């Protein structure tokens, strides 16, 4: 137990966002490498032993509360578990995903502990021994550098990205019991989950996105075909969601999902700050747009100026031909 420990509140199970765990783990690993502290994960739910074992590959300890009554997120139960863990360990930082659970639980915990909170952070930077939480403001037009002098510091981190490859012995999983509350003020009834396509774009290594520049909805088939030829997944920018063509689960951007694939192809996307915020950490970015002055070209590693309705089919056919030749 030391004030350099990092507590990571992870999610698993029905109605929870497991995609948030990867970015949290990667952030915690970076902090632990700098401070030399331990990574301690907290997990509450039901039937999530496998997820706890997976998390132990990255953490020194996983504190698991697994019982039928934890199947649905209960803010009071999660708060009691998190508060006890923090009071026992005295960590330097508590990390949560910027999910509906994190957005609800983090301010409750900060208030209960009388400590500081930085929400919706896209990065955590270390300079000397100081920690800075990076947040976007004014729809991504500026980046704020948040400093907290409280202990512990609590932050919610945007989802997306992949966890680092573990090069350490697996940690231990400790089961914890939580006594039922006599008269809870809030009682979870059910989880209403959004319709999903079955594809999690935040975990994909190749993402092909379509924007307003595709023109008609039927032209989105070009994006789907190119993604399939590359072995990737299709996604979209916010205008296509606003028009009701697709759900937020397929959207890349500040109000959608943050992705960090090895390859990101933007088809007919101008590159508004809101969108750039969700994909700028991609390993290699290809932009296809008719406007040579589109902002997307400022972050792209490779740019193609022209009609995507002509360029994308040619790329798809070339990829298919190469795959056939190689096979």
The burial class, CB within 10 Å (0-12 / 13-18 / 19+), for 1 is exposed
Domain range for residue 113? Answer: 6-175
**205 & 104 share domain:** no
The answer on 163 and 210 residing in a single domain is no
Residues 252 and 169 in one domain: no
How many other CB atoms are found less than 10 A from the CB of residue 244?
Answer: 8
Q: What is the pLDDT of residue 143?
A: 82
Instruction: State both tokens at 107.
Output: 């301010």
Give a yes or no: residue 115 inside a domain.
yes
Helix (H), strand (E) at residue 239: helix 238-242
Order across the sheet with 130-137: list the strands: 142-146, 130-137, 117-127, 153-157, 93-97, 6-9, 39-45, 61-66, 172-175
- Six token digits for residue 96: 């949560």
| 191 inside domain | no
Kindly state whether residue 259 falls inside one of the protein's structural domains.
yes
Residues 12 and 132 in one domain: yes
How far apart CA 112 and CA 99 sit, in angstroms, is 20
Kindly state whether residues 11 and 153 are assigned to the same domain: yes
Q: Is residue 181 part of a domain?
A: no
List pLDDT tens digits, range 308-327: 999 999 999 999 998 888 87
| pLDDT for res 197 | 57
> Are 26 and 128 part of one and the same domain?
yes
First to last CA, the chain: 55
Domain boundary at 175, 190, 224, which?
A: 175
Check whether residue 28 and residue 145 sit in a common domain: yes
pTM more than 0.95: no
pLDDT band at 33 (very low <50, low <70, confident <90, very high): confident
Q: Name the DSSP class of 168.
A: S
Query: Which residue, 141, 175, 209, sits at the end of a domain?
Result: 175
Rg value, the chain, Cα:
21
DSSP state of 304: E
Q: What is the number of other CB atoms lying within 10 angstroms of the CB of residue 92?
A: 18
Assess whether 58 and 206 both reside in one domain.
no
- Whether residues 161 and 245 fall in one domain: no
Q: Are residues 259 and 296 in the same domain?
A: yes
- Inside any domain, residue 165: yes
Residue 46 token pair: 């039901």
Q: Is residue 186 part of a domain?
A: no
Q: Among 21-30, 63-72, 103-112, 128-137, where is mean pLDDT lowest? A: 128-137
Query: Which CATH number characterizes residue 162's domain?
Result: 3.40.50.620
3-class secondary structure, 316: helix
Least confident of 148-152, 163-167, 210-214, 322-326: 163-167
- What was the pLDDT predicted at 92? 92
Q: Please tell me the total count of domains within the chain.
A: 2
What's 294's domain CATH number?
3.40.50.1220
Please indicate, yes or no, whether residues 144 and 208 belong to a single structural domain of this protein.
no
Q: How confident is the model at residue 28 (pLDDT cuts 50, 70, 90)?
A: very high
Residue 97 is predicted with a pLDDT of: 93
Residue 215 belongs to a domain: yes
Q: Are 58 and 52 in contact (CB under 8 A)?
A: no
199 has pLDDT over 90: no
49 vs 65: CA distance, rounded Å = 10
Which of residues 126, 157, 175 is at a domain's end? 175
Of all residues in the chain, the percent with pLDDT exceeding 90 is 58
1 falls within a domain: no
Decide if pLDDT at 2 tops 60: no
Distance CA 59, CA 172 (A): 8
* 165 and 237 part of one domain: no
């Amino acid at each position: 137990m030391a004030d350099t420990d990092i507590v990571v509140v992870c999610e698993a199970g029905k109605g929870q966002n497991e995609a948030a765990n990867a970015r949290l783990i990667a952030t915690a690993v970076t902090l632990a490498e700098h401070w030399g502290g331990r990574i301690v994960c907290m997990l509450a739910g039901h039937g999530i032993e496998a997820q706890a074992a997976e998390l132990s590959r990255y953490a020194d300890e996983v504190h698991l509360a697994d019982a039928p009554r934890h199947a649905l997120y209960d803010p009071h139960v999660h708060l009691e578990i998190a508060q006890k863990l923090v009071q026992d360990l005295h960590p330097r930082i508590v990390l949560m995903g910027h999910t509906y659970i994190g957005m609800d639980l983090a301010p409750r915990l900060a208030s209960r502990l009388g400590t500081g909170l930085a929400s919706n952070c896209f990065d955590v930077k270390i300079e000397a021994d100081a920690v800075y939480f990076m947040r976007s403001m004014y729809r991504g037009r500026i980046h704020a550098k948040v400093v907290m002098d409280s202990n512990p510091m609590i932050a919610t981190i945007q989802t997306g990205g992949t966890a680092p490859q573990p090069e350490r012995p697996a940690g231990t999983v400790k089961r914890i019991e939580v006594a039922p509350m006599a008269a809870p003020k809030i009682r979870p009834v059910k989880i209403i989950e959004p319709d999903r396509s079955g594809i999690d774009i935040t975990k994909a290594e190749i993402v092909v996105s379509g924007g307003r520049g595709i023109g008609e909805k039927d032209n989105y088939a070009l994006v789907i075909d190119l993604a399939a030829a590359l072995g990737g997944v299709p996604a979209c920018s916010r205008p296509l969601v606003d028009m009701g063509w697709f759900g937020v689960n397929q959207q890349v951007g500040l109000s959608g999902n943050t992705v960090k694939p090895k390859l990101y192809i933007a088809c007919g996307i101008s590159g508004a700050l809101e969108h750039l915020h969700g994909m700028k950490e991609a390993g290699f970015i290809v932009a296809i747009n008719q406007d040579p002055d589109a902002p997307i070209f400022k972050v792209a590693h490779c740019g193609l100026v022209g009609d995507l309705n002509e360029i994308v089919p040619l790329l798809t056919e070339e990829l298919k031909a190469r795959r056939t030749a190689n096979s």
